[in-house]
Amino acid sequence: MASISGICSSSPSLKPHKPLLRQAHSLRRDSLNFPTRLSKLSDRRLSLSPTQSVAREISAELSSKADGGVHKKEKKEALEKDPQALWRRYVDWLYQHKEIGLFLDVSRVGFTDEFVTEMEPRFKDAFKAMEELENGAIANPDEGRMVGHYWLRSPKRAPNSFLRLKIENTLDAVCNFANDVVSGKVKPPSSPEGRFTQVLSVGIGGSALGPQFVAEALAPDNPPLKIRFIDNTDPAGIDHQIAQLGPELASTLVIVISKSGGTPETRNGLLEVQKAFREAGLEFAKQGVAITQENSLLDNTARIEGWLARFPMFDWVGGRTSEMSAVGLLPAALQGIDIREMLAGASLMDEANRTTVVRNNPAALLALSWYWASDGIGSKDMVVLPYKDSLLLFSRYLQQLVMESIGKEFDLDGNRVNQGLTVYGNKGSTDQHAYIQQLREGVHNFFVTFIEVLRDRPPGHDWELEPGVTCGDYLFGMLQGTRSALYSNSRESITVTVQEVTPRSVGALIALYERAVGIYASLVNINAYHQPGVEAGKKAAGEVLALQKRVLAVLNEASCKQPVEPLTLEEVAERCHAPEDIEMIYKIVAHMAANDRAIIAEGSCGSPRSIKVFLGECNVDELYA
């Protein structure tokens, strides 16, 4: 069995910081006049009464309240191609963090010295906003919440002792529980192995993407507990994960993660897993762990039913920034990953990102490059290419972190801006045989972020495939060759390099991009910490399910008649008092028929007007409910 000594080892890098004494205040502020490089854009002035609450339509270039105009700049110059000038630019702009073993190269992004100078006032405001955020300001004004994920790796920065103790006590509880499970002190009640062998994590979005990324990146080849994820409400996917566990279900620790405790996909996964436990004659509560907000529905259920353990999620930590909370730390610790080293790496990166000198602040350099490359309006996509198999899921993780944070319809002043930054990616050198062809020669609607890892294998394990060349040299050559080939055709790129993939470097990468997102959001004046579009989708999904219940009631009533009364879609819609929803009713009926829950008496789904439908049986209880 794997050693547990490293799971929560103390780290000298988690040093206490002096708390900032500035009085925190709201981050909401006047709209800024952002520089842009697009030509011939409208500088039409928009005038609205201060009392108007209607969101204002503004041009792609963010409006300026100060003068009502837009700062224009001519089309960007051609990228520098002279090798000696490029070398000087590389040296001038290369960032290195020696303690983490991380480098950041933004030299292949074409921002000019003039642009950096123009952006300095914006960065000054962004740094101030970030300082206020860390001091406890209401940085999520739409939901009236603080934003405190930075405190998770530096608890002494929390704005009061109560929060500091909550963070520290939770970390200690996670470490102690993980040690007890891995050592066999905490055991499943009916497993022949006498200890837990598997983890089944049930959660979605930020409750899954972070833990999945970290597991793929850092789990040892033979972890003390292997981990599986149910991260969707797809019945076939859930069945597959449970079937893969087989008899090891009896030695599986189930972690259910939901901040509100009411996330439908997570609830569904929990109910499916509980059903599997009942069918196997197992008592779920003895193997269940809840990670949720205190006093949520899930927390109360776990407490009443006597689940094995409960850990808190905090109101001031969003799902997409929760990897350094119990959400990410408990699954990692159970796999034998040193979570205190992850926290140490994040803390070191946070400290580096507190400097107000842009060229010495790696997160600010990323935000600067994103703004330049996408014109501050998301005009180009960010393609993330990690040249390391273990970092494959980093692009999926960043997809949520960046797009859910930056993709907003309105800015902080109520202007409709439709901001965003699209993220997608694969891995190198798989990308070389997938879509590099288009990146090199096709539509120029992107910039690239390469993730490079210098260490190919553990020391002493490398060997040469041919004289002077190892397998890792080929991977290195592919990365550098792709970077050069893209740049020669004026495709910009950023390169983030780490010495090796370790808990410390992974923690630093997470912290780097969390801060870059926060700074960029300040530059474009949007709230990075809420997700109204996600909530709108959830509400719409609820309305579909409510309509389905009405359809079922109508069909059940018709199916209970003698003889059975098959109904057309128009008749179903009329009896549901929802003629405007006939298309959705058709889709509901088609889905039910495909799953043997409704019978098409006449016609076919390929010709909706021909359909007559009824249920296969009459549910009398429902009829008289």
* Residue numbers annotated as active site: 404, 433, 538
Strands 567-568, 607-614: pairing kind: antiparallel
CA dist., res. 403 & res. 207, Å (int): 16
Q: Are 290 and 174 in contact (CB under 8 A)?
A: no
Q: Are 293 and 145 in contact (CB under 8 A)?
A: no
With the CA atoms of 501, 506, 512 and 515 taken in that order, what torsion angle do they form, in degrees rounded to the nearest 10? 170
List the one residue out of 174, 192, 273, 281 whose CA is nearest residue 230: 273
Beta bridge partners of 57: 416
Strands 464-466, 469-470: pairing kind: antiparallel
* The one-letter amino acid at 167: I
Q: Does the N-terminal peptide bond of residue 251 adopt cis geometry, omega within 30 degrees of 0?
A: no
Helix (H, G, I), strand (E, B) or coil at 511: helix
Per-residue b or e along 275-311, where b marks 16 or more CB atoms closer than 10 Å to that residue's CB: ebbeeeebebbebbbbbbbeebebbebbeeeebbbbb
Q: Are 570 and 603 in contact (CB under 8 A)?
A: no
Q: Are 419 and 411 in contact (CB under 8 A)?
A: yes
Position of tokens 């969707």? Answer: 232
CA dist., res. 316 & res. 322, Å (int): 10
Helix (H, G, I), strand (E, B) or coil at 554: helix
CA dist., res. 291 & res. 330, Å (int): 9
Helix (H, G, I), strand (E, B) or coil at 257: strand
Beta bridge partners of 254: 200, 288
Q: What are the start-end ranges of the E strands in 129-282?
A: 198-202, 226-230, 252-257
CA dist., res. 310 & res. 173, Å (int): 10
Strands 309-313, 288-293: pairing kind: parallel
Strands 607-614, 599-604: pairing kind: antiparallel
| Token code pair at residue 71 | 């700062």
**Which element (helix H / strand E) includes 29?**
none
